[in-house]
Amino acid sequence: MAFRMFHEQDCDVSRLDGKRVAIIGYGSQGHAHALNLKDSGVDVKVGLYEGSKSRAKAEAQGLEVVSNAEAAAWADIIMILINDELQAKMYAQDIAPNLTAGKTLAFAHGFNIHYGCIVPPADVNVIMVAPKAPGHTVRSEYLAGKGTPCLVCAHQDATGDAFDLALAYGAAIGGARAALLETDFRTETETDLFGEQNVICGGVTDLMKAGFETLVEAGYDPRNAYFECVHEMKLIVDLIYESGFAGMRYSISNTAEYGDYTSGPRVITEAAREGMRENLRRIQDGSFAKEFLLDMSGESRQVHFKMMRQLEAEQQLEKVGAEIREMYSWNDSDKLVNN
């Protein structure tokens, strides 16, 4: 299915004039949306649960903070930016009782709408504005006078202008400076989960780990293996990000380029592709969502999730990586994640 693309000249930010926008959550995306909207002249409040550690940060950055329920009651547009697994319960407790006809419910990821965890009433708008970058990039690009591309759509149009509101919101957070690509909740959800699991998170991390372990098992120094299979990944990805595969291949040696063409297919075999197809099927039929939500909530208390996290943290690759990264010139202000 072909979707349309929109830019600043296609968006009317004045559609947000007089609108009150609640940002629920103040994490990576929440802080970026709230601050960018505020700087674009939009009336914004941040909704947080009682005792949230983010309250002091949001208030220090000049934003008014209220409870989730108060934010929902006050707002015309309610953007939900908390973790997927927490949204349905919070929506039922704090948002649903305060939804009145004509309000707009907004999301930056389609998970809860697509899988039916949240079912809004028919008399409210349901839109999506999904930046295709972490929140710190959404904010830094905005401050630099640029923007982060966003996916946008109107899933439910109760007022007749839901899509125009999505475009206005996307422009107000800076997205239209780059591009706003029309989508739908199913497409965004399924492709986002697939990309995370098979390429940018699951695929890449397993590839790097497998490469590291192959060299170590063959007797090579783990530090050397880390440099070759993990450290240099960023250098290649940065080249691809800037100029595509062709630009990356222009910048590497002929030896590396030749090996790219001849050796890559021995790794990403038909068996690997079938694994991707199976993962896509599990996303499409809801199996992954069911498994994820069962593990993240209820009696399981994230037991499996936390076990996987602990096992991965104990990998030799992580220990070697920590040693090598001590040599880098980063400091705390340079890091994307401080833990």
In 158-203, at which residue ranges do the beta strands (DSSP E only) sit? 180-182
Catalytic residue among 109, 114, 155, 304: 109
CA dist 243 and 236 (Å) reads 11
CA dist 337 and 74 (Å) reads 33
163: Cβ–Cβ under 8 A, 6 or more apart, which residues? 127, 152, 153, 154, 157
Instruction: Round the CA-based radius of gyration of the chain to a whole number and report it.
Output: 22
Q: Which pair of structure tokens corresponds to residue 49?
A: 């649960």
Pairing of strands 104-107, 43-48: unpaired
C-alpha distances out from residue 276 to 138, 201, 237, 268, 282, Å? 29, 13, 21, 10, 10
Q: DSSP per residue over 95-159, as a string? A: IGGG--TT-EEEESS-HHHHTTS----TTSEEEEEEESS-HHHHHHHHHTT----EEEEEEE-SS
CB 188 within 8 A of CB 197: no
Active site residue 114: no
Instruction: Give the containing element (helix H, strand E) for 48.
Output: strand 43-48
Strand order in the sheet with 180-182: 5-6, 180-182, 150-156, 125-131, 104-107, 77-80, 20-24, 43-48, 64-67
Query: Which are the catalytic amino acids?
Result: 109
